[in-house]
Structure 1
């Protein structure tokens, strides 16, 4: 999986491209280490080009959601392909992780939180 990181206002956007599975999840988790230990900005996962997510990928998402749960910054996902969103829905992740239709929609909500 390839990630592209951009910053906009007080948000860090990770654009995910490819497969988030048992091969890529450990490296992705390392990339997210600072966000898991000390969140210092809102975090958005742009899943527009995420083709597949496995249970290992869901575990990384769960860990980041837990890290952001009680802090001042928000975590959200957006722009999921239908089959990836279905995995989130079947696993129940959509009940505690906000999924927006686009990056712009996610950033608009974050802007209102500041």
Structure 2
């Protein structure tokens, strides 16, 4: 997985490419922990994300909990397969997906 970071003022956009799974989730978790200082809006761009596993969902939930205290979080450009995963798991009701 590739993580493209773009910090614009207090908005951090993380563009994910490839697969967010058990192997790559720790990498994203580290980026989130290191980059969220002074971030008020966290945006995940899933335009090029092909797959997400339960490990990836856990990282998103953790990020959402952090941002609930510090600002807001949203996920954009989600493909149909990942949207279906969000719906089946109930994450569609927890996360802001645009």
Q: TM-score, normalised by structure 1?
A: 0.79
RMSD: 1.5
Residue 9 (structure 1) shift: 4.3
Q: 1:75 to 1:34 in 2, by over 3 A?
A: same
Report the counterpart of residue 8 of structure 2 in structure 1.
8
**Structure 1 spans left out of the alignment, 5+ residues:** 101-114
Residue number in structure 2 paired with 1:49: 48
For the 8 Å contact 2:11–2:39, the answer to whether it is kept is no
- Which runs of structure 2 are paired with 1:29-44 in the superposition (5 Å)? 29-35=29-35, 38=37, 40-44=39-43
Pairwise CA distance, 1:28 = 1.1
Give structure 1 regions of 4+ aligned residues with deviation exceeding 2 angstroms: 7-10, 38-41
Q: TM-score, normalised by structure 2?
A: 0.91
- Secondary structure of the 2:97 match is strand
Cα separation, 1, equivalents of 2:97 and 2:73: 10
Is the contact between residue 15 and residue 45 of structure 1 (CA under 8 Å) also seen in structure 2? yes
Partner residue in 2 for 1:78: 76
Q: Provide the secondary structure at the position in 2 that maps to 1:52.
A: strand
- Indicate yes or no: 2:91 matched with 1:90: no
Give the greater-gyration-radius structure (CA). Answer: 1
Shift of 1:69: 1.5
Aligned match of 1:68: 67
List gaps (5 residues or longer) in structure 2.
Answer: none
1:39 positional shift = 5.4
